Amino acid sequence: MAQTFPTSAQVIYSTLAADTNLAALLGTYTFAVGSSSSALSVVSPGENLPATRSVSGLECVIHDLGNTQPKNYVSSAADMVVTWQVFLIAWEPATGADLQAATELICSRFANSYSTQTVAVSDGLGALVQNKIVIRSDSPILS
């Protein structure tokens, strides 16, 4: 069976969106018009983070970094590796266990991925814990 690699943010998004275990940990966005969507989104270069927070307290944002540092030349194969950043953001302290479970789940899907955690206080709206998961385009997606 051929291996699949995370060559774009959409590949990562599709992989994560199809995972029912991850979907159960993430919340949904509720929009002003009353519709809702999974709290899993892709942010391209120059875009702001989604203004609407997850109503269930945990959201997943994939940053599409593919075009942020164009190269005029390639000196080695390592220069061709794209590093994706997946942010899991918990808006409520009660989602700490879900945050860790979701982080471990995502890391288990992508070879050689790793995570770091940042704890901060958002602008008066509550605690913010963010896990950043780094995924390399040259490491295969695990089944």
Residue 126: CA count within 13 A, CB half-sphere: 12
Going from N- to C-terminal start, the domains of the chain cover 9-67+79-136
Give this prediction's pTM. Answer: 0.82
Q: Coil, helix or strand for 33? A: coil
Pairing between β-strand 58-63 and β-strand 40-43 as defined by DSSP bridges: parallel
| Terminal CA-CA length for the chain | 11
pLDDT per residue as tens, the chain (143 positions): 689 999 888 899 999 999 999 999 998 888 777 788 889 988 876 676 666 778 878 899 888 766 545 555 556 665 667 888 899 988 777 788 899 999 999 999 999 999 999 887 655 555 578 899 999 989 999 97
In 9-112, the DSSP E strands lie at: 28-30, 36-38, 40-43, 58-63, 83-90
Phi, psi at 99, each rounded to 5°: -60, -45
